Amino acid sequence: MSNRFDYIVVGAGSAGCAVANRLSFDKNKTVLLLEAGKSSHPLSRIPVSFALLIDHPTANWRYRSHADEKTSNRNIPIPRGKLVGGSSAINGLVYVRGQNLDYDIWAQMGNKGWSSEEVFPFFKKLENYVNPCEDLRGKKGLVNISQVTDRNPIYEAMFEAGKKLNIPFNEDYNSGDQEGFAYTQTTIFKGKRMSAKVAYIDPIKNRKNLNILTESLVSKIIFENKKAIGIEILRKGKNEKYFCNDEIILSGGAINSPQILELSGVGRPEILKRNNVEVIHELQGVGENLMDHLGPRLVYRVKKPGLSYNEKARGLGLIKQALNYAFKQDGFLNLPSAPVLGFFKTRPELASPDIQVHFIPYRVVLDNGKRTLGKDPGITCTVNQNRPESRGNIHIKSNNPQEHPEINCNFLDNPLDRETLVDGVKLIRKIMGSEEVQNYCGEELQPGDNFSSDKDILQFIRDKAETLYHPSGTCKMGQDKFSVVDEKLKVKGLENLRVADASIMPTLISGNTNGPCMMIGERCAEFIINDN
């Protein structure tokens, strides 16, 4: 294999796979796609594998946050995918575009071309939404998206309770209006996970102009003055170098992309010098502006038998679920992380929902990153703030590319975040304590009735809430001095280098980030094709 390519894509995650697919369509252009992890994991295609791979060392980077007193000095697990497909190969398979307001905020911040009107055609381009839908949804894209098939009387009871609280049922939360209860749209198709690898790479893996190297850890970008000309990787215990004619696209995600930039000498000089990295280019925003969704999990006992998967998927019941999956592509093994979503307003005067809730028909037990079924029949409700105000950072701790960076999430730093999450917990309690839901569910197992005041609820959040696995913003797009990329995702002050992944988000979108990352990849590829 040659060591020179037209394009080098660093990171085969949701965005990187989309970029590699679109750029390699031109047979006259050669593309190298690099992935630090393996090609795949044998369990990844089974939807429920998100519970098994969420802390698996082969498929997951298994990051942990730096301890912070605002979250009770815990090292919060931060799973990130380490396979071709990135986190889309291990995630909870929930597909959310986000609100119109999210992208209109990006445009209002000076990012031309990123309004909701301008990005939604790229969502349509990637989507093949298999359910009946309006013209607002894509039907010819590479990513098959379906609505969850799981049904439960508890869901219907929640929907009825919602009506009394002026919460509508929403047939399609991705069609422009997000508010309400909804059955989850998923990256599951015919019982199999539709990761970015399956959608974007598997159909084109035999293109002669596309080369894919796995288990290849990028140690740095090679610069000639201010121009990115190649990359250096660690592969099979040896250092290798590859060079590009046109551009390098960083798609390592919100953790790896700023890490690679800093290892390459791009970032804040004091951090680079402290870690014995030569300063190539000063960019104050690299690694800053870290955002993520923080989610406390409320758990309720299910008192009617046969409605919770804590019962249906244990012992002999698991065999039945396996057979149901094998012959009908249904049941527990075919579930996303949450079959029902809620996008709610904690205050009626708000223009759009400020919280998202994942409703899970079993009791989830989280233990230092591992996710298991609890013994007691239950239902779990995870609430998060859509657009948190708190900002953290990610920075290298040494010049060793194999050492994980320090991740300071800084959750709950902003008072609005604290207030919104407390109000979100109180709203969930109204829904789950309603007469309709109480026909099926009983006591609150977590946090429990003894956590009644706002102060108690906030302490529960500090002690127990964990990330919803959506780190973003650490190479943000914008116009201010802390922006890393411009509106075409070019790294400011450097040539031939772009970033395309969740790290470019200037503000966090209202929902799960896999779909928006694929959109960002589609958007980046078009920028490159048009520019060249």
Angle between helices 514-531 and 14-23 (to 10 degrees): 30
Beta pairing, strands 238-250 & 393-395 = unpaired
* Distance separating alpha carbons of residues 257 and 249, to the nearest angstrom: 10
Amino acid at 282: E
Task: For residue 356, give the DSSP letter.
Answer: E
**H-helix or E-strand containing 514?**
helix 514-531
Could you list the active site residues?
470
Q: What are the angstrom distances between the C-alpha of 411 and each of 61, 300, 389, 461, 512?
A: 21, 25, 9, 10, 18
Q: Is 253 left (phi over 0), alpha (psi -120 to 50) or beta?
A: left
Q: Where are any strands of DSSP class E within 406-492?
A: 406-408, 441-446, 466-467
Label residue 399 exposed, middle or buried (CB < 10 Å: 0-12, 13-18, 19+): middle
Q: To which residue do tokens 């989610």 refer?
A: 295
**H-helix or E-strand containing 32?**
strand 31-34
DSSP 3-state of 397: coil
Beta pairing, strands 180-183 & 441-446 = unpaired
**H-helix or E-strand containing 429?**
helix 415-432
* Distance separating alpha carbons of residues 66 and 503, to the nearest angstrom: 19
- Helix residue ranges per DSSP H, 168-266: 196, 253-263
**H-helix or E-strand containing 223?**
strand 216-224
* Distance separating alpha carbons of residues 226 and 38, to the nearest angstrom: 32
C-alpha dihedral over 83, 87, 88, 89, to 10 degrees? 40
Beta pairing, strands 497-499 & 238-250 = parallel
Phi, psi of 97 (to 5 degrees): -75, -40
For 140-168, the three-class secondary structure string (H helix, E strand, C coil) is CCCEEEEECCCCCHHHHHHHHHHHHCCCC
Amino acid at 342: G
Residue pair 356/510 in contact (Cβ under 8 Å)? The answer is yes
* Distance separating alpha carbons of residues 484 and 339, to the nearest angstrom: 37
* Distance separating alpha carbons of residues 51 and 182, to the nearest angstrom: 22
Q: To which residue do tokens 């037209």 refer?
A: 6
Q: What are the angstrom distances between the C-alpha of 150 and each of 52, 155, 288, 318, 339?
A: 20, 10, 40, 16, 7
DSSP 3-state of 244: strand
Neighbouring-strand partners of residue 243: 4, 230
